[in-house]
Amino acid sequence: MAARVLLQVKEISKSFGGVQAVLRVNVELFEGEILGVIGPNGSGKTTLVNLITGFVKPGSGDVFFKDRKITGLQPHKIADLGVTRTFQIMRPYHSLPAFKNLIIPLNSPRIVRSRGGKLGDKDAVAIDILEEIGFERDAYVPYKIASSLPLGYLKRLELARCLALKPEVIICDEIFSGLSMAEITTMIPILEKLQLSGISIIMIEHRLRELFRLVGRVMVLNFGQKLAEGAPEEVMARPEVRDAYLGTEEITC
Amino acid sequence: MGYLLLPRLVLIGGLLLLPFLVDMYWQRVLCIAGIYALLALGFDFLAEYVGLVCLGGAFFVGCGTYISGLLSATLNWSPVFTIPIATVGGAALSTLVLLPCLRLRGIYFAITSFMFPLLTVHVIIALNIFGGTEGISALATFPNVWVDQYLILGVVIFSLFAMRRLVNEDFGLILRGIKDNDQAVRASGISITAYKTKAVFIAALMGCFGGAYLSHLYGWIGISQFALDFSILPISAAVMGGMGTLVGPVIGAFILTPLSEQLRDFGQLRVVVYCLILIGFIVYKPEGLMNYLQRKYHQFEHWKEV
């Protein structure tokens, strides 16, 4: 069965001054899949996210969501269509309690529209979302001020903010980085559950072993260009990918 | 119940009783203090809840003053009509003017907003419009001093409680989100420009009301109503009263304005003494009066019979 292409990036390029951050990259995200994007540091992964979600305007190339061109739209317009993202450097609302962080997306036009103007008890909805994402309700974690939360919860909060928007696509920018093995192990089922509920996910990751447990397809970026794409084992077996990760220099001793 | 009610009643009662406790001269000072209180409230709201440090207070006052003054002078309308029109119209105008600057944050927004009152004064002088440097005098004034005072005091109290409510609503929550992290708000599908515009409009409403009221208080409009006092004094009031408490800046304005009047005895040294008092506050009570009082009030033990 050929799944529908949900998000399509065509020949997108962006340079910052003399640095070519992303060069003619094509991405296709099928409905209901998890796509991994990997690559060494500085290979343009986060720029790609910024380009798709409108935080950075592309130099050339286009982004299509459900065959609709979304290139150059404001970030809030793109989020409004259901393409959401997490930030690599977490951006919680420091001064607000964790569950109040979700009241902001719950007030967005997208949610107001989907509920026909009737919003009901937003606090309860927010706490339900947090519980779904792994906040223990009994430990009062949802009620703590966001600036006092540990890293693991902040990463979850990023994901929860996306989830509160009832998204169709979530782009996770290094959601595993900095987490302990135990925390990642509890995150993986959450992401699998999101996939089962019909959300397509792009995961940008450095933690390859954990990533490969989730993704069906992986894409490798290097110096802003697409190096390889395909099933994880197949991609990692390729010599150019190994070279990109480990270096090509001959060892002479 | 009494625990929560007491401070509010003391504040409202205190403000409403003030006109009875002072003589004619100080009653006028009270009116001016009310205008500064509105400006300080707007400043605190924008700075602490939206993250826009707005030095455009003088611009708000000037817009309000000139709109109501011109309506009153040319069309001979009574203050009953000119004040509401100038409040809303002036706020709309100031918001429109500040709109291109809303992309800026922090000190950069402060500098650009600071520029507008200066700019307008120069435009008025250069083009010699709206009475030029002389201004327009002999406008309608309020019937008596009690209307003067209770109008401004009523509006101050109303705005204060309205703002306190607003910042705790979802609307206020989104604004605080913008202050904390505007990119995250954009990623949540909410237009930050729309919300910032609304916030500036609300703050401008208060400033423009102050201006419109001022034109009818003096029965006169002139370029001195774009004076930078209206931009600067609210900041000192907010610093002294306690940033982020909303009530603090109001109390600060009601302390600083009479204080500044009282210091006229010092002649040229007035500004020096004024600065010394401010520096004293910054050094010894940097959190501000209200934050300090709130903390102390909550520290008292309140026993309840059960």
Residue from B231, B250, B232 nearest B288 by CA: B250
Is residue A251 one of the residues assigned to a domain? Answer: no
Is residue A182 one of the residues assigned to a domain? Answer: yes
- Which domain covers residue A14, as residue numbers? 5-246
Provide the pLDDT for residue B89.
95
Q: Which residues of A touch B173 (CB under 8 A)?
A: 96, 100, 103-104, 107
**pLDDT higher than 70, residue B304:** no
**pLDDT higher than 60, residue A156:** yes
Residues A180-211 pLDDT 10s:
888 888 889 999 999 999 999 999 988 888 88
Q: How large is the ipTM?
A: 0.85
Q: Which residues pair with A170 in a beta bridge?
A: A84, A201
Give the mean pLDDT of B66-70: 92
CB contact (8 A) between residue B191 and residue A76: yes
Provide the pLDDT for residue B40.
94
Distance between CA atoms of residues A14 and A58, nearest Å: 5
Provide the pLDDT for residue A86.
92
Provide the pLDDT for residue B44.
94
pLDDT, averaged across chain A: 87
Provide the pLDDT for residue A132.
87
CATH number, residue A160: 3.40.50.300
**pLDDT higher than 90, residue B35:** yes
Is residue A252 one of the residues assigned to a domain? Answer: no
Residues B84-112 pLDDT 10s:
999 999 999 999 999 999 988 778 999 99
**pLDDT higher than 50, residue B4:** yes
Residues written for chain B: 306
Of B173, B180, B189, the CB nearest to A165: B189
Report helix, strand or coil for A188.
helix
**pLDDT higher than 90, residue A138:** no
Size of interface A-B (CB pairs under 8 A): 81
Distance from CA of A234 to the nearest CA of B (A): 34
Residues B162-172 pLDDT 10s:
999 999 988 99
Distance from CA of A172 to the nearest CA of B (A): 12
Q: A248 or B128: whose pLDDT is higher?
A: B128
Q: How many domains does chain A have?
A: 1
CB contact (8 A) between residue A80 and residue B189: yes
Structure tokens at A28: 């296709």
Is residue A196 one of the residues assigned to a domain? Answer: yes
**pLDDT higher than 90, residue B200:** yes
Sign of CA dihedral A240, A244, A245, A246: positive
CB contact (8 A) between residue A104 and residue B188: yes
Is residue A188 one of the residues assigned to a domain? Answer: yes
Is residue A114 one of the residues assigned to a domain? Answer: yes
Cβ pair A203, A172 in contact under 8 A: yes
**Mutation site, A107, A121, A162, interface B, largest B CB count within 10 A:** A107
Distance between CA atoms of residues A157 and A98, nearest Å: 7
Residues B108-137 pLDDT 10s:
999 999 899 999 999 998 888 888 888 888
The residue written with tokens 């109008």 in the block is B151
Is residue A253 one of the residues assigned to a domain? Answer: no
Provide the pLDDT for residue B95.
94
Strands annotated E in B28-172: 136-137
The residue written with tokens 């309690």 in the block is A97
Q: Which residues of A touch B243 (CB under 8 A)?
A: none
Q: Which residues of B touch A49 (CB under 8 A)?
A: none
Provide the pLDDT for residue A81.
92
Residues B260-272 pLDDT 10s:
888 888 878 877 8
pLDDT, averaged across chain B: 89
